[in-house]
Amino acid sequence: MKRILLLIVCVTCTAVYGQKFAGLAPTPPMGWNSWNKFACDVSEDLIRQTADAMVSTGMKDAGYQYVNIDDCWQGQRNSQGFIQPDSKRFPSGMKALADYVHSKGLKIGIYSDAGSKTCGGRPGSRGHEYQDALTYAQWGIDYLKYDWCNVEGLKAEGAYLTMRDALYSANRPIVFSICEWGNSQPWTWAGKVGNLWRTTGDIYNCFDCKMDHGTWVSWGAMQIVDLQKGLREYAGPGHWNDPDMLEVGNGMTANEDRAHFSMWCMLAAPLIAGNDLRNVSEETLRILTNMEAIAVDQDALGIEGFQYSSQDFIEVWFKPLSGGAWAMCLLNRSGRPQKIEFDWKKEKVMDGFSKREAGFDTTVYGLRDLWAKKDIGTTAQMLDVEVPAHDVLMLRLSKQ
């Protein structure tokens, strides 16, 4: 009898713990996060105004859903150990803020850290995981980014499993964003733990540079693309590689922003804008809300693209899309415009991972330029184009 009871208890345990919420993030999450532009300068006014701007700019209609507060929202823990928001910056409290964001038809995200303190020196969740998860659930939080500073000897997989189980037991579906910078190869274990995991250190707001901060390095958009090599087979619906948040609108040229955004779409990356949406240029909005590029990112197959060729600063990337279609991106990494001739008849795309292939000698595809938003012929004629410096030609190939 005792044994049967134990068995029932154990079965219930694994039903409640040891899993993540099903059906969250079937396509890469889309939203906004405060860090890239505002760092620690967050407040409820910023979040409310950003939620308003998400609606008024058309970002919401384009599919952006999450308004995420990054580091530095925290005040102290109360006498029972429950975390309180910084009362100067968030005087109305998090529940009221979540209600406001929800009233706009959007979702709200928050940030914590597996260690004793966050990277910004605020209280971390170590030893308070279940309390924090419960608090977030009570506030109505929909997304948690969980960082990796001040972890003194913790093992990543175990620490993230603890928070996953805490979220699960708090019983509110919360997208779980793992942020340990790829240190312990999260792609090998994080699929069952979270919905997305950072693959690299922080992005730096440049097209092609590297910033050495002494004890850590941050990476330009192109360096991050290079660091994704070999990772595509680990991602798919519900579990995504995260090459970090977007820098579109934060100072790169429009060409560079377009190339950065296009490559994130080719990588089926989470699209988390990181600019000031309250003051956004038409040009930046045109990039962030290009529905045809977004459709590549959000394609239901959820298969990351891959580099097909690389020569003289020109990279050709392909991404299998549903319905037998492909996305193709010709990326010009050089500082000069480049003429590119792509003779379809001599090319054959074979992707062992998706088991898809495109033989252009036997199948003719129609070509759609996703930035010019026009059809530009078919694969029956050689592609002969000039791609501006630090820019892309991004195409959708559909069977004729």
Catalytic residues, by residue number, are 147, 202
Of residues 32, 35, 146, 371, which one binds ligand GLA by CB under 6 A?
35
The Cα–Cα gap between 258 and 221 comes to: 11
Q: Which is nearer to ligand GLA, 114 or 293 (by Cβ)?
A: 114
Smallest gap from Cβ 147 to ligand GLA, in A, equals 5
How far is Cα 101 from Cα 99, in angstroms, rounded to an integer? 6
Of the candidate spans 113-121, 229-237, 345-353, 369-377, the one that interacts with ligand GLA by CB under 6 A turns out to be 113-121
CA distance 312 to 306: 18
Non-local (6+) Cβ contacts of 396 within 8 A are 292, 296, 321, 325, 326, 327, 328, 367, 368, 370
Give least dist CB 111 to ligand GLA, A. Answer: 6
Minimum CB–partner distance for residue 118 and ligand GLA (Å): 6
- Torsion angles phi and psi, residue 58, rounded to 5: 90, 0
Two tokens at 365?
Answer: 């595809």
Segment lying near ligand GLA (by CB under 6 A), choices 45-53, 80-88, 115-123, 292-300: 115-123
User: In the bound complex, what is the minimum distance in angstroms from residue 324's beta carbon to ligand GLA?
Assistant: 37
Q: Dmax over Cα atoms in the chain, in whole Å?
A: 77
Task: At 349, list the tokens.
Answer: 């795309």
The correct pick among 71, 132, 247, 351 for binding ligand GLA (CB under 6 A) is: 71
Rounded Cα distance, 119 and 102, in Å = 28
Closest CA to 87 of 73, 98, 101, 97: 73
Window of 19-27, 116-124, 260-268, 323-331 that interacts with ligand GLA by CB under 6 A? 116-124
Kindly state the smallest distance separating residue 145's Cβ from ligand GLA, in Å: 6
Shortest separation between residue 271's beta carbon and ligand GLA, angstroms: 15
When the beta carbons of 260 and 390 are compared against ligand GLA, the nearer one is: 260
Tell me which residue has its CB nearest to ligand GLA.
119
Strand 306-311 relative to strand 271-273, pairing = unpaired
Pattern of binders to ligand GLA over 249-288, x per CB under 6 A? ----------------------------------------
Kindly identify the residues of this chain, within the stretch 169-208, that bind ligand GLA according to CB under 6 A.
179, 202
CB 4 within 8 A of CB 216: no
Which value, to the nearest 10 degrees, does the dihedral of the CA atoms of residues 281, 284, 289, 293 take? 160
Is 119 near ligand GLA (CB under 6 A)?
A: yes
Contact 374, 394 (CB under 8 A): no
Using the Cα atoms of residue 166, residue 168, residue 172 and residue 178 in order, give the sign of their dihedral: positive
From the CB of 292, what's the least distance to ligand GLA, in Å? 28
Pattern of binders to ligand GLA over 143-172, x per CB under 6 A?
Answer: ----x-------------------------
**C-alpha dihedral sign at 45, 51, 55, 57:** positive
CB of 87 to ligand GLA, least distance (A): 20
Residue with tokens 């239901």: 300
Instruction: Compare residues 186 and 305 and give the one whose CB is closer to ligand GLA.
Output: 186
Which SS3 state, helix, strand or coil, does residue 284 take? helix
Q: Cβ closer to ligand GLA: 35 or 234? A: 35
Binding piece for ligand GLA, criterion CB under 6 A, among 53-61, 112-120, 185-193, 230-238? 112-120
Q: How many CB atoms lie within 10 A of CB 357?
A: 12
The rounded distance, in Å, linking the Cα atoms of 131 and 35 is 25
**Cα within 13 Å of Cα(83), Cβ side:** 34
Q: How many residues bind ligand GLA (CB under 6 A)?
A: 9
Instruction: Give the nearer residue to ligand GLA in terms of CB position, either 119 or 265.
Output: 119
Residues binding ligand GLA (CB under 6 A): 35, 70-71, 118-120, 147, 179, 202
